[in-house]
Amino acid sequence: MGTIYDLAKITGFSITTVSKALNNYSDVSEKTKAKIVQAAADMGYLPNAHAQSLSTKRSWTIGVMFSEANEVGMMHPFFNAIIESFRKATEQQGYDLIFVSRNLRNRDMSYLEHFQHRAVDGIVVICSDQMDKHVQELIQSSIPIVVVDMDSTDCSVVFSDNLSGGTLAVNHLYELGHRLIAHIAGDMTIDAGLARIEGYKQAMDRLALPIPDGYLINGGFFSVEEGKQAMQTLLALPKRPTAVFVAGDQMAIGAMEAIHEAGLQVPHDISVVGYDDIDMSKYVTPKLTTVRQDTERIGQHAAELLIEQIVNKRRVMTTDIIPVDLIVRQSTGPVKP
Partner DNA sequence: AAATTTATCGAAAGCGCTTTCGGTGAAATG
Partner DNA sequence: CATTTCACCGAAAGCGCTTTCGATAAATTT
Selected from 9, 10, 15, 330, the binder of DNA by CB under 7 A is 15
Number of residues located near its own copies, criterion CB under 8 A:
56
User: Which residue from 265, 213, 223 is spatially nearest to 242, judged by alpha carbons?
Assistant: 265
Residue 44 gets which letter from DSSP?
T
Cα–Cα distance measured from residue 271 to residue 39, given in angstroms and rounded to the nearest whole number: 68
Residue 54 is a binding residue for DNA (CB under 7 A): yes
Residue 133 is a binding residue for its own copies (CB under 8 A): no
- Three-state DSSP at 125 gives strand
Selected from 9, 10, 52, 224, the binder of DNA by CB under 7 A is 52
Selected from 9, 42, 56, 203, the binder of DNA by CB under 7 A is 56
User: Considering the complex, what minimum distance in angstroms separates the CB of residue 229 from its own copies?
Assistant: 14
Residue 116 is a binding residue for DNA (CB under 7 A): no
User: Which residue from 132, 242, 128 is spatially nearest to 195, judged by alpha carbons?
Assistant: 128
Selected from 53, 136, 171, 232, the binder of its own copies by CB under 8 A is 53
Other beta carbons within 10 Å of 79: 21
Q: What is the dihedral of CA 213, 216, 217, 218, to 10 degrees?
A: -140
43 binds, among DNA, its own copies, none (CB under 5 to 8 A by kind): none
- Segment contacting its own copies by CB under 8 A, of 27-35, 80-88, 150-158, 210-218: 80-88
- Three-state DSSP at 247 gives coil
Cα–Cα distance measured from residue 139 to residue 123, given in angstroms and rounded to the nearest whole number: 9
- Three-state DSSP at 11 gives helix
Which residues of the shown chain bind its own copies in the complex (CB under 8 A)?
1, 44, 46-51, 53-54, 59-61, 73-75, 77, 80-81, 83-84, 87-88, 91-106, 109, 113-114, 116-119, 224, 253-254, 257, 260, 279-280, 283-285
